[in-house]
Amino acid sequence: MAKPTGFIEFRRDEGQQRPPQERIRDWQPIHLHTPDDALQTQAARCMDCGIPFCHQGQILNGMSSGCPLHNLIPEWNDLIYQGLWREAYERLGKTNNFPEFTGLVCPAPCEASCTLGIIDPPVTIKNIEMAIVEKAFAAGWVRPNMPQQRTGKKVAVIGSGPAGLACAEQLNLVGHEVTVFERADRPGGLLMYGIPNMKLDKKLVQRRLDLLTEAGIRFVTNTEIGRDIPAEALRAEYNAIILCTGAARPRDLDAPGREKAGIHFALEFLTGSTKALLDIGILGDSDIRAIPQSINTPIPQSPISAAGKDVIIIGGGDTGTDCVATAVRQQCRSVVQFEIMPQPPQERAPDNPWPQWPRVYRLDYGQEEAQAVFGEDPRRYLVMTKRFMGNGRVQGVKTINVTWETDGWRPQLVEIPGTEKIWPAQLVLLAMGFTGPENGLLDQLGVKLSRWRDEERYGRYHTNVEGVFAAGDGRRGQSLVVWAIREGRGAAREADRWLMGETDLP
């Protein structure tokens, strides 16, 4: 596949990003265009490896390994090497509804399990994927997926994140009338509001939403099922309901002073920032060449602003990184990010072999930008928050250093005496993940979801309520966009089988 000796001849090239000192002055995408010939060279590195682990899509040691969508990666790498871009897009479209999203925000577990990665840096699968779909849009190959005929069945999809959108497109494709309900003022879920524009351009999200609308999918916004429309009324009108509400309950921090003003969940901060930018039209032009290089970052009138403040972010992961990048653009005075775990090693540890996801130290885009502004990585490892300081409004955070010790059975967190410290903070953001779906709608429907054992208890994507299905983070727990798309496709397949007695959906 591709060039037999390509992995020997060519080195990995991840493409270019805008310099941190430049990109922090606006909200536009950080990635620069990669020429076709450079991408073909990178595709040439795809080995004839015999067993392409890149599209296995498994969970190994609690982490994703390979593509959950089972993308036909070696096939489209070979086609790109040959210059057959349209054929590559057709292969990519067979398994992935939204490669423009995964090509930008997916952490690429496919690359982590690339066979070449055993001995050398892996193939740049993610960059090539993004280039394929952007070439397809530019050439007019991406068209609305119109059904050949309608079945007369009506399906309600609750939630318009990646799982809901993938589910809606698949069900519409086989002819069901699909309505997607979203409680926010714009559809897209975390794609629209949970991920900042510099990481995922909202024009790309709206472009895809427009295609889905053109294909016949109906979007109803500013509508919360269970509050604005009773769940029973929905059941009476629709033949099937798919719950794609996500894991919307953020994990809180039970520490003294938590009630003080200025302490917020990370998603509140990110959502408010992006909504403010969209509302005033700052995100209307994503051509960075049109942006004057002397301008200062536009600071939206967000309900939660980091401008001029010492910001502390508690928790790592992608959400924490996005908070760092947003706080820097809002011109914070300082930013520090606490992690309870130790700093990862520079290289794979012996207990973290290929093809597991490599737990190694990385400087992600947000930390890179903070380092460019403040001179160092904002992360502080092995730090536990003990108390929030201040009178009414948070003014500081008291912490203590910790270590992990084992009792012969499992690791235990141990505080280190004498390491207490008070950090200045007028804004604290909690980015510690999510604990599961909100219960209100589930209670109205009588649904009892078990995230990890749902398939064993009720069958694939079925809930305990006849005609009600579940997909995405709300079913399997907080995860990646690529897993959400897979979940949406799977739920659509099983809902179609339940509605029609059989299904042709993959």
H or E element in which residue 380 lies: strand 379-381
Looking at residue 316, what is its pLDDT? 87
3-state secondary structure 196-265: CCCCCCHHHHHHHHHHHHHCCCEEECCCCECCCECHHHHHHHCCEEEECCCCCEECCCCCCCCCCECEEE
8 A C-beta contact, residue 223 and residue 181: yes
Buried/exposed 434-444: b ≥16 CB within 10 Å, e otherwise: bebbeeebbeb
User: In the chain, where are the structural domains located?
Assistant: 6-139, 154-249+435-500, 252-432
CATH code at 154-249+435-500: 3.50.50.60
Work out the mean pLDDT of the chain and round it to a whole number: 92
Mention every residue, 6+ apart, whose C-beta is less than 8 A from residue 368: 20
Q: Which CATH number fits domain 252-432: 3.40.50.10310, 3.30.70.3000, 3.40.309.10, 3.50.50.60?
A: 3.50.50.60
Cis peptide before 355 (omega within 30 of 0): yes
Could you please report the per-residue DSSP string of 328-375? HHTT-SEEEEEESSPPPPSS--TTS-TTSPP------HHHHHHHHHHS
Examine domains 154-249+435-500 and 252-432 and report if their fold is the same. Answer: yes
Q: Give residue 141's identity as a one-letter amino acid code.
A: W
- What band does 476 get if pLDDT is binned at 50, 70 and 90? confident
Q: Indicate the fold that domain 6-139 takes in CATH.
A: Fumarate Reductase Iron-sulfur Protein; Chain B, domain 2 (1.10.1060)
- Range 310-348 burial, b when 16+ CB lie within 10 A, else e: bbbbbbbebbbbbbbbbbbbbbbebbbbbbbeeebeeee
By C-alpha distance, which of 98, 297, 108, 264 is closest to 197? 297
Predicted confidence (pLDDT) per residue in 306-339, tens digit: 999 999 999 989 999 999 999 999 999 999 999 9
Mean pLDDT calculated for residue range 167-189: 97
φ, ψ (nearest 5 deg) of residue 375: 90, 0
CA distances, 428 to each of 128, 260, 399 (Å): 37, 10, 13
pLDDT above 70 covers what percent of the chain? Answer: 94
Q: Are 283 and 204 in contact (CB under 8 A)?
A: no
Q: Are 268 and 398 in contact (CB under 8 A)?
A: no
Tell me the per-residue pLDDT of 89-137, one tens digit each, with 9 for 90 and over: 999 999 999 999 999 999 999 999 999 999 999 999 999 999 999 999 9
pLDDT at 300: 58
What does the pLDDT read at residue 151?
A: 97
Q: What is the DSSP string of 417-455?
A: TT--EEEE-SEEEE---EEE--HHHHHHHT----TTTHH
For residue 413, give both structure tokens: 């967190």
The per-residue pLDDT for range 49-100, each reduced to its tens digit, is 888 999 888 899 888 999 999 999 999 999 999 999 999 999 999 999 999 9
Residue 408 pLDDT class (50, 70, 90 cuts): confident
pLDDT of residue 79: 96
Average pLDDT of the segment spanning 256-268: 98
Our CA angle for 503, 205, 136, nearest 5°, is 75
3-class DSSP assignment, residue 318: helix
Close Cβ partners of 58 (under 8 Å, ≥ 6 residues apart): 64, 65, 66
Amino acid in the structure at residue 292: P
Question: Which residue carries 């509804």 as its tokens?
Answer: 97
Q: Which has the higher per-residue pLDDT, 316 or 251?
A: 251
